């Protein structure tokens, strides 16, 4: 059985690659690689271990095969995804689900298992013909730790392989050391960029499919390059892990991990945070003076009864738009250095340097971007003017280049003890900048499940529409939303001291429609939360939680930002809006009912009680309750 594909593999692999593979003595690895070697039929397959030579070889191949080009800083490269392959393809990303389970997975974009499997095998048959493929071994989270999820990636894209060496921990040795009993516990990712055009971009994006089998922990991704579609270890593994964690009672969340630092008190307090896109996630993780552990995905496990988290990744695949010297000095400075970075979908000027939207630098009037040769004013096939770079252009970079990395948390095999969780949404008129939840359960149901993001003039369609985004994790939740929400509640309640939960909203607008605080005010909100965790500040009650006292914020603004924070601004920002909150909870209820017809009644009962409480407050104190007026 194990030898089934040996003859074939020997024709496609060097002796060294074949030996690396067989040295693992892992029948499931051999079966996976053998099956797709035969089915996708690449000309050759290179097997990587954890050596520096292999990491270098993969980058060199990405350049030699034309998926990346070297820039003016020779350690930096540019990769372009096709014009129609610039973001996650939600429509063609589907869970393969057995017929009998299709009904309650409907809202999660599923496909009948047999139908999906037949379709993906058809699309992938011979898809790698004439191409060189690569096999890599990685770990989600640190290797050899209770958090580790081993993964294998088989791809014909050297850009994907290069990105993964930057973004994840290479784990060939971990596979090598796996005890026999665990040899079949790993995730498998098979990817092909498909046929490439003369710019080395995927041709058949109409046949782009990302099909996930959460029963067998395998993801098939075909005819794409954009990292959110192609990189198995990122959002595909995340969906598999969410599913697994639901069965096993832990959590995989779309969250950063950071440490708030109180220099004077010599305190380091770990926070995790979930924010829908464009709601302040990266800028919170990168607040000057604090430390970052990870910017995108966290696993939570109870370790000896403690709530502990790891950053799943080793690098960041960050949105580059608006990264500039003023707003994001640490990242900007790193992007300017001659160090290993893959830029994607930015403009490369005649000087062979990268330019992007919101860079704070005058861009050249011509160059090359995701559209091809570009000149100011150029229009695409639909007559739409092409900007200098795509709004979703990215940089791929190791996290440990950043001088604000928290090395201790980044390396910790047992993760860090999390003391605070932030859920940050975007609304211009309802939720306060920071509010603490009385307990874990209230936090999940009133802060996490109710998260919303309001459309802005920067997004397509109408402005001011609230889009529900429970836990900012909706795109990746891979089992019914009700059960996922219950698992969140249960997990926190199972540990001794669950983190305190806080909500954030950095986007409340003043009476004249402008923001009322500077962009860095988030540092004051964070340090209020940090102080609360350490028992430092009194709080005022609202129908949904606890808010700061004016005197404490005044001091926090002075100490951390050297800014004056006025009492009028405080009173405005921290006013409780009864009707708006009731509407928000009604939207949450309707959304849950739509997304998961089986969602447990206890969730709706909870929200109905919360609505009744707010209604009673409204009857007693009026629709708009000033801070301090509410007495419970």
CB of 317 to ligand OXD, least distance (A): 6
CB of 518 to ligand OXD, least distance (A): 26
Please list, in sequence order, all residues whose beta carbon lies within 8 angstroms of the beta carbon of residue 255, skipping any fewer than 6 positions away.
Answer: 272, 273, 274, 296, 297, 298, 309, 421, 472
The binder of 88, among Mn ion, ligand OXD, none, by C-beta within 5 to 8 A per type, is ligand OXD
CB of 398 to Mn ion, least distance (A): 17
The vertex-531 CA angle with 528 and 535, nearest 5°, equals: 130
Burial class (CB in 10 A: 0-12, 13-18, 19+), 332: middle
In order of 157, 168, 280, 333, 368, the CA distances from 97 in angstroms are 28, 28, 34, 46, 42
Please list, in sequence order, all residues whose beta carbon lies within 8 angstroms of the beta carbon of residue 75, skipping any fewer than 6 positions away.
Answer: 338, 339, 340, 341
Quick check: is 48 catalytic? no
**Distant-in-sequence contacts of 561-564, Cβ < 8 A, 24+ apart:** 561/518, 561/520, 561/521, 561/523, 561/524, 563/517, 563/518, 563/521
Say how far apart CA 461 and CA 449 lie, in whole Å: 24
CB of 167 to ligand OXD, least distance (A): 11
How is 549-604 classified by DSSP, letter by letter?
-HHHHHHHHHHHH-----HHHHHHHT-EEHHHHHHHHHHHHHHHHHH-TT--HHHH
Query: Cβ(108)–Cβ(478) under 8 Å?
Result: yes
Nearer to Mn ion, 49 or 296 (CB): 296
317 binds ligand OXD (CB under 6 A): yes
CB of 395 to ligand OXD, least distance (A): 12
CB of 296 to ligand OXD, least distance (A): 5
Please tell me the count of residues contacting ligand OXD according to CB under 6 A. Answer: 4
**For residue 253, what are its two tokens?**
């969340």
CB of 214 to ligand OXD, least distance (A): 19
427 binds Mn ion (CB under 5 A): no
Nearer to Mn ion, 416 or 474 (CB): 474
Query: Cβ(548)–Cβ(537) under 8 Å?
Result: yes
Nearer to ligand OXD, 270 or 317 (CB): 317
Nearer to Mn ion, 27 or 87 (CB): 87
Using CB under 5 A, which residues numbered 294 to 333 contact Mn ion?
296
CB of 155 to ligand OXD, least distance (A): 18
* One of 89, 296, 406, 419 touching ligand OXD (CB under 6 A): 296
435 binds ligand OXD (CB under 6 A): no
**For residue 535, what are its two tokens?**
């028992």
Say how far apart CA 81 and CA 99 lie, in whole Å: 35
Using CB under 6 A, which residues numbered 44 to 103 contact ligand OXD?
88
Query: Cβ(370)–Cβ(328) under 8 Å?
Result: no
Nearer to ligand OXD, 174 or 281 (CB): 281
Nearer to ligand OXD, 37 or 242 (CB): 242
507, 462, 453, 416: which is closest to 145 by C-alpha?
A: 416
Tell me the angle at which helices 113-124 and 27-40 cross, rounded to the nearest 10 degrees.
60
Q: Which of 48, 252, 272, 279 is catalytic?
A: 279
Say how far apart CA 152 and CA 177 lie, in whole Å: 15
Say how far apart CA 98 and CA 432 lie, in whole Å: 44
Pairing of strands 218-222, 209-213: antiparallel
How far is residue 476 CA from its own chain's centroid?
9
Nearer to Mn ion, 290 or 296 (CB): 296
* One of 34, 82, 228, 548 touching ligand OXD (CB under 6 A): 228
Query: Cβ(201)–Cβ(126) under 8 Å?
Result: no
CB of 97 to Mn ion, least distance (A): 24
Sign of torsion, CA 214 216 220 225? positive
Say how far apart CA 317 and CA 306 lie, in whole Å: 30
Nearer to Mn ion, 68 or 296 (CB): 296
CB of 391 to ligand OXD, least distance (A): 12
* Residue carrying structure tokens 């790891």: 310
Using CB under 6 A, which residues numbered 400 to 419 contact ligand OXD?
none
For residue 434, what is the enclosing H or E element? strand 434-436
Say how far apart CA 140 and CA 169 lie, in whole Å: 7
The binder of 317, among ligand OXD, Mn ion, none, by C-beta within 5 to 8 A per type, is ligand OXD
In order of 6, 30, 130, 276, 531, the CA distances from 9 in angstroms are 5, 9, 15, 44, 59
Nearer to Mn ion, 94 or 281 (CB): 281
Using CB under 5 A, which residues numbered 267 to 296 contact Mn ion?
296
149, 145, 171, 150: which is closest to 414 by C-alpha?
A: 145
Nearer to ligand OXD, 236 or 368 (CB): 236
Report the interface residues with Mn ion, using CB under 5 A.
Answer: 296
Report the interface residues with ligand OXD, using CB under 6 A.
Answer: 88, 228, 296, 317
What residues are annotated to the active site? 279
């Amino acid at each position: 059985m194990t030898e089934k594909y040996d003859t074939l593999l020997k024709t496609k692999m060097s002796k060294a690659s074949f030996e690396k593979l067989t040295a693992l003595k892992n029948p499931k690895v051999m079966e996976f690689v053998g099956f797709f070697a035969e089915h996708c039929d690449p000309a050759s397959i290179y097997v990587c271990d954890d050596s520096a030579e292999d990491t270098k070889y993969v980058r060199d191949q990405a350049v030699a095969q034309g998926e990346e080009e070297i820039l003016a800083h020779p350690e930096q490269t540019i990769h372009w995804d096709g014009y129609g392959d610039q973001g996650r393809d939600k429509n063609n990303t589907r869970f393969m689900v057995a017929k009998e389970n299709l009904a309650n997975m409907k809202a999660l974009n599923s496909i009948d298992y047999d139908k999906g499997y037949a379709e993906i095998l058809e699309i992938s048959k011979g898809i790698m013909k004439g191409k060189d493929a690569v096999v890599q071994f990685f770990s989600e989270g640190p290797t050899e730790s209770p958090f580790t999820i081993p993964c294998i990636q088989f791809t014909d894209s050297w850009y994907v392989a290069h990105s993964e060496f930057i973004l994840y921990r290479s784990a060939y040795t971990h596979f090598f050391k796996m005890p026999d009993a665990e040899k079949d516990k790993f995730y498998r990712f098979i990817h092909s960029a498909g046929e490439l055009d003369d710019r080395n971009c995927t041709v058949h994006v109409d046949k782009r499919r990302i099909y996930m089998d959460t029963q067998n922990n395998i993801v098939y991704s075909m005819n794409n390059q954009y990292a959110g579609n192609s990189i198995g270890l990122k959002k595909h593994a995340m969906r598999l892990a969410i599913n697994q964690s639901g069965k096993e009672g832990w959590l995989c969340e779309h969250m950063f991990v950071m440490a708030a630092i109180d220099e004077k008190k010599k305190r380091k307090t770990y926070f995790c945070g979930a924010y829908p896109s464009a709601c302040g996630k990266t800028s919170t993780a990168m607040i000057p003076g604090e430390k970052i552990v990870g910017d995108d995905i966290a696993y939570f496990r109870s370790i000896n009864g403690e709530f502990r988290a790891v950053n799943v990744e080793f690098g960041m695949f960050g949105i580059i738009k608006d990264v500039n010297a003023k707003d994001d000095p640490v990242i900007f400075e790193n992007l300017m250095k001659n160090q290993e970075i893959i830029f994607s979908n930015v403009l490369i000027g005649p000087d062979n340097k990268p330019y992007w939207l919101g860079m704070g630098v005058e861009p050249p009037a011509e160059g090359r971007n995701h559209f091809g040769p570009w000149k100011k004013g150029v229009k695409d096939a639909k007559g739409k003017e092409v900007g200098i770079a795509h709004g979703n252009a990215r940089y791929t970079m190791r996290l440990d280049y950043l001088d604000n990395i928290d090395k201790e948390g980044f390396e910790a095999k047992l993760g860090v003890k999390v003391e605070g969780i932030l859920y940050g949404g975007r609304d211009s008129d309802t939720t306060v900048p920071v509010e603490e939840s009385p307990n874990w359960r209230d936090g999940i149901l009133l802060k996490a499940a109710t998260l919303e993001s309001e459309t802005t003039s920067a997004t397509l369609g109408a402005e001011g529409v609230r889009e529900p985004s429970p836990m900012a994790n909706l795109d990746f939740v891979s089992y019914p939303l009700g059960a996922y929400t219950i698992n969140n509640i249960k997990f926190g309640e199972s540990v001794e001291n669950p983190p305190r939960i806080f909500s954030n909203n950095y986007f409340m607008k003043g009476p004249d429609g402008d923001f009322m605080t500077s962009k860095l005010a988030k540092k004051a909100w964070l340090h209020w939360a940090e102080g609360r965790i350490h028992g430092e500040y009194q709080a005022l009650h609202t129908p949904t939680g606890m808010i700061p006292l004016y005197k404490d914020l005044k001091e926090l603004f002075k100490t951390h930002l050297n800014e004056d924070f006025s009492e009028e601004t405080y009173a405005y920002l921290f006013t409780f809006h009864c009707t708006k909150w009731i509407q928000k909870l009604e939207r949450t209820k309707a959304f849950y009912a739509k997304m998961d017809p089986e969602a447990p009644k206890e969730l709706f009962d909870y929200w109905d009680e919360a609505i009744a409480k707010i209604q009673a407050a409204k009857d007693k104190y009026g629709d708009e309750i000033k801070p301090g007026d509410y007495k419970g």
